[in-house]
A and B are shown apart, each in its own frame.
Chain A
Amino acid sequence: MKTVARLVSLLSLVGTIAPPVLFFTGSMSLASMQSWMLGATIAWFLATPLWMDR
């Protein structure tokens, strides 16, 4: 369970920074980028408490 949660956390960090980079290079729209960042944020705060500081 913890391993899965760590993996989700890692992916959500990638999901936080990758969309802005894609927006910067013109490969993603602002609205899509914001949606991806929101999704990644939700995933981070759901998954990370399951393994961090435990």
Chain B
Amino acid sequence: MTIVDDFTASHAEPVDEFERERVPERALLGFRSFVGQYAGEHTAGTELMIGPLFVASGVSAVDVVGGLFVGNMLAVLSWLCLTAPIAVRARMTLYYQLEKICGRRLVKVFNLANGVMFCFLAGAMVTVNATAAGVWFDIAMPGLNDLYPTSFGWAATVLVMGVLMTVVAAYGYQVVAKIANIAAPWMVLVFIAFGIIGAGQLGITSVGEFWPKAQELIWKGGAPLPGQVKFTFWHVMFFAWFCNMAMHIGMADLSVLRYARKSWYAVSTAAGMYLGHFIAWLSASILYAQQINANPANTSVLPGPLAYDAAGVAGVVCVIVAGWTTANPTIYRAGLAFQAISPSWSRYRVTLVTGALATVAGMFPAFAMKLLDFVAIYGLVLMPMGAVIFVDFWLAGRFGFRQDYAAAAGVPVNWAAGLAWLVTLGLCFMVVDMGGLQVYFVGLPGWFVAAGLYVVFSRLMQRKERRV
């Protein structure tokens, strides 16, 4: 996008090159670049929220380990089989590809949805960081079922954290990006250490003891904590598969994988899935189980105190670094999405306003305490456009409609794509609401619904042109 080019020319911000052209051969990256990027991206502060929520949901050991193993594998296969083949053939960003299919105006609406979701996600990351303050200051922290700000102290803490993160995202992006690179190997080891320490605190002293004790003390199964949904293998599997729905079947990672020399480089996503969404989640689960074991009345999911009780100051540093280094690009991306709507807005002002929204969102513990639901909603909102891209890229000719319709016809909105998006979302949320299902269960059928609707609407709307 031109707005990015304008700003990278004059300020220290990430360089998003080749926004409206194919990535040239000279800019392609090797396999190791993707391993590092995915491992870092998916070992975030929010992993410390997600792991405990599995324990709170009364999942059993077999279900959580099996569900995470299979679900993460399906996520890797989704990147490998759906996203990467298009990424390395087209070598375009998600937004440019969508613009050619959907038209500029519809992409702006998509960007607005994307920006709002990124804001809330960044809000959850601000919340995670604010919990670190609870280690040293006597602040009334939110509980597991709190949705609204719980005290003035909590709101003030989030405000301070949010303002710091926002200012840094606006003026010091590259410093934090560099810290993220430097911290990544250390952070992965601290996440692994959390699990080892938590197991030790639970009285497990050998590897052989781990599995029987895990079933007895950590993932015990049985009833969930009050206010939580009971999790089975299927809940865990579908959540692990679709928590990054926006990135794989939603095609957001076209923008990343377009730099891959080969399509199979998408297996590098396994580094993120199995380090972040397997080991880190299980480690965080173990810490939370230890907390409940020590004090059954303490059901709060507060990453700061959890990490401090296990690894001391190093643990708190890990929470702050993990939260900050992932909130930083999230606030930045939200700003980019908003700025795409109106390129004349100042880059810094947009980031500051975006950060302010994220900070206000962060004061509401709902986004962090209901993170399992929120990340699923985030993916679901963006997913139908991934189905549209898939169908348009592979099947347009076979189904007899024009590929890249908006670009070819010069229209600002391709209503076939717009309706496929909105009708799919409406149907999915109706099923969730009426059927009492969790959001991550409707992602898979929703993708096929969006694909089918796009074919039907495209054929109907392009019928007149075919006759001509």
B-side interface mostly: helix
User: Complex formed: what's the CA distance from A30 to B196 in Å?
Assistant: 12
A13 to chain B, nearest CB (A): 6
A:8-31 near B, CB below 8 Å:
12-13, 16-17, 20-21, 23-26, 30-31
Chain A residue with the shortest CB-CB distance to B312: A34
Tell me which of A26, A35, A45 contacts B312 (CB under 8 A): A35
Contacts of B206 in A (CB 8 A): 25
Tell me which of A12, A33, A52 contacts B197 (CB under 8 A): A33
Tell me which of B185, B192, B200 contacts A23 (CB under 8 A): B200
Contacts of B314 in A (CB 8 A): 16, 34, 37-38, 40-41
Contacts of B204 in A (CB 8 A): 24
B300 to chain A, nearest CB (A): 21
User: Complex formed: what's the CA distance from A14 to B185 in Å?
Assistant: 11
User: Complex formed: what's the CA distance from A44 to B317 in Å?
Assistant: 12
Tell me which of B181, B185, B189, B205 contacts A53 (CB under 8 A): B181
Tell me which of B193, B199, B201, B312 contacts A16 (CB under 8 A): B193
Tell me which of B182, B205, B315, B317 contacts A25 (CB under 8 A): B205
B40 to chain A, nearest CB (A): 13
The reply on B130 being an interface residue by CB < 8 A is: no
Contacts of B313 in A (CB 8 A): 34, 38, 41
Which range holds the interface residue count of chain A? 20 to 34
Chain A residue with the shortest CB-CB distance to B197: A20
The reply on B217 being an interface residue by CB < 8 A is: no
User: Complex formed: what's the CA distance from A40 to B192 in Å?
Assistant: 15
Tell me which of A13, A33, A52 contacts B189 (CB under 8 A): A13
Given contacts A25-B205, A34-B313, whether A16 and B182 have CB atoms under 8 Å apart is: no
The reply on B411 being an interface residue by CB < 8 A is: no
Given contacts A13-B189, A25-B205, whether A20 and B200 have CB atoms under 8 Å apart is: yes
Chain B residue with the shortest CB-CB distance to A41: B314
A6 to chain B, nearest CB (A): 12
Chain A residue with the shortest CB-CB distance to B311: A37
Interface string of B203-236 (1 = CB under 8 A from A): 0111000000000000000000000000000000
Is the CB–CB distance between B181 and A20 below 8 Å?
A: no
A23 to chain B, nearest CB (A): 5
Contacts of A31 in B (CB 8 A): 312
Chain B residue with the shortest CB-CB distance to A36: B314
Tell me which of B183, B190, B205 contacts A26 (CB under 8 A): B205
Contacts of B183 in A (CB 8 A): 45
Chain B residue with the shortest CB-CB distance to A47: B182
User: Complex formed: what's the CA distance from A19 to B199 in Å?
Assistant: 14
- B interface list, Cβ under 8 A from A: 178, 181-183, 185-186, 189-190, 192-193, 196-197, 199-201, 204-206, 311-315, 317
New A-B pairs, 8, CB < 8 Å, besides A25-B206, A34-B313: A16-B186, A17-B193, A20-B193, A23-B196, A41-B190, A48-B182, A48-B186, A52-B181
5 tightest A-B contacts by CB? Answer: A34-B312, A37-B314, A20-B193, A24-B200, A20-B196
11 contacts between A and B (CB under 8 A): A16-B186, A16-B314, A17-B196, A24-B196, A24-B200, A34-B312, A37-B190, A40-B314, A41-B313, A52-B181, A52-B182
